[in-house]
């Protein structure tokens, strides 16, 4: 797959290079700086005439976005505003989150993200992350190669069955993976290009979703037994081959599946389950 950008690291920091020009640059959330592009950058990337004339500082952009989010009265509306920003300008998203972390952490993650999972098919605007379904059996490696970054280091994957305290949320569970990785980025300083949220969308037993005409997930009852195990096994092997440096975090799997997956792959994959091992580690740490 031809990548839309490359990232190089050296002692001077991170350099992002791209062959993209014009609107294609603005449509890449990791490249887009909005009104923050300098005059020279606008000339270099063919953006002259595509942006308002004023070159905004990051602080100015942050204040503008903060005011916009604060005008939303409902928490879900604030969530949608912030996620929409993440989809178009990741640098600004993390700047806003960093400056207002205590205020916005409960918006992009618990408790508000639970409502976002429930309403996912009705508030969906733009994709982030990847979906693997039973239709991808035998092709999961090729699907992972379509991810935007060639150097994924951390994957948060969910099968959407035990989302927070609200149970089976089908395709909407990926909002948990997106939110968790956003916290890792802002809290641990992991570059966004190293992060990949994934939904193992093996179906849903949530009757409300199965009968929702707007539901955007794999609209069949959940895969179980050997078929489920085989899909997870193929996923693990594909991750190891495509992203050999990646850690897999299993998120919000049903208890029995969670333990089975850990047991099956404890010797052959770099992975952990946050609900089991993460919770235990925090408890032991005091």
In this model, does residue 30 exceed pLDDT 60?
A: yes
Of the listed 79, 95, 180, 215, which one is catalytic? 180
What is the token pair recorded at 102? 């205590």
Side-chain half-sphere exposure of 29, counting CA atoms within 13 A = 20
180 labelled catalytic = yes
Question: pLDDT tens across 226-283, in order?
Answer: 999 999 999 999 999 999 999 999 999 999 999 999 999 999 999 999 888 888 888 8
What lies within 8 Å, CB to CB, of 11 at 6+ separation is none
Q: Look at the domain 1-56 and name its fold.
A: Hemocyanin, N-terminal domain (1.20.1370)
Of 244, 252, 131, 142, give the one whose Cα is nearest residue 198. Answer: 131
Of 129, 164, 144, give the one whose Cα is nearest residue 274. Answer: 164
Measured distance CA(100)–CA(233) in Å, rounded: 40
Q: Do domains 1-56 and 57-108 have the same CATH topology?
A: yes
Length of the chain measured in residues? 286
In 146-286, which residue ranges form alpha helices assigned H by DSSP? Answer: 174-188, 207-210, 225-242, 255-265, 279-285
Question: CA of 96: how far to CAs of 40, 69, 201, in Å?
Answer: 25, 10, 31
DSSP states of 85-123 = HHHH-HHHHHHHHHHTHHHHHHHHSTTHHHHHHHTHHHH
109 labelled catalytic = yes
Question: pLDDT tens across 132-188, in order?
Answer: 999 999 999 999 999 988 899 999 999 999 998 899 999 999 999 999 999 999 999
Measured distance CA(235)–CA(257) in Å, rounded: 15
Q: Look at the domain 120-285 and name its fold.
A: Rossmann fold (3.40.50)
Measured distance CA(11)–CA(130) in Å, rounded: 32
Question: pLDDT tens across 252-263, in order?
Answer: 999 999 999 999
Of the listed 78, 79, 109, 218, which one is catalytic? 109
Measured distance CA(64)–CA(92) in Å, rounded: 11
Q: Are 160 and 172 in contact (CB under 8 A)?
A: yes
Domain ranges of the chain: 1-56, 57-108, 120-285
The whole-number pLDDT of residue 1 equals 54
Three-class SS of residue 155?
strand
pTM for this predicted structure: 0.94
Just give the CATH number of 57-108.
Answer: 1.20.1370.30
Question: pLDDT tens across 184-214, in order?
Answer: 999 999 999 999 999 999 999 999 999 999 9
In this model, does residue 129 exceed pLDDT 90?
A: yes
In this model, does residue 2 exceed pLDDT 70?
A: no
Measured distance CA(136)–CA(227) in Å, rounded: 12
């Amino acid at each position: 797959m031809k990548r839309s950008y490359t990232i190089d690291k050296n002692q001077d920091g991170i350099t992002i290079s791209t062959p993209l020009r014009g609107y294609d640059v603005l449509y890449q959330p990791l490249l887009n700086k909005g009104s923050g592009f300098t005059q020279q950058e606008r000339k270099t990337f063919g953006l002259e005439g595509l942006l308002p004339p004023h070159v905004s500082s990051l602080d100015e952009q942050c204040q503008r976005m903060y005011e916009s989010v604060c005008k939303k009265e409902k928490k879900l509306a604030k969530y949608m505003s912030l996620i929409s920003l993440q989809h178009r300008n990741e640098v600004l998203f993390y700047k806003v989150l960093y400056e207002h972390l205590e205020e916005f952490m409960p918006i992009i993650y618990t408790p508000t993200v639970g409502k976002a999972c429930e309403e996912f098919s009705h508030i969906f605007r733009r994709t982030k992350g990847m979906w693997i379904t039973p239709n991808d059996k035998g092709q999961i490696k090729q699907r992972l190669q379509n991810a935007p970054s060639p150097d994924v280091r951390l994957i948060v994957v969910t099968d959407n069955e035990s989302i927070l305290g609200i149970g089976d949320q089908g395709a909407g569970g990926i909002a948990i993976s997106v939110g968790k990785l956003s916290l890792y980025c802002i809290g641990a300083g992991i570059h966004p290009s190293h992060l990949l949220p994934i939904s193992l969308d093996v179906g849903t037993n949530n009757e409300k979703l199965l009968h929702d005409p707007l539901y955007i997930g794999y609209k069949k009852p959940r895969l179980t037994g050997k078929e489920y195990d085989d899909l997870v096994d193929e996923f693990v092997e594909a991750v190891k081959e495509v992203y050999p440096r990646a850690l897999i975090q299993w998120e919000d799997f049903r208890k029995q599946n969670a333990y089975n997956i850990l047991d099956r792959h404890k010797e052959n994959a770099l992975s952990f389950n946050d609900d089991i091992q993460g919770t235990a580690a925090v408890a032991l740490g005091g």
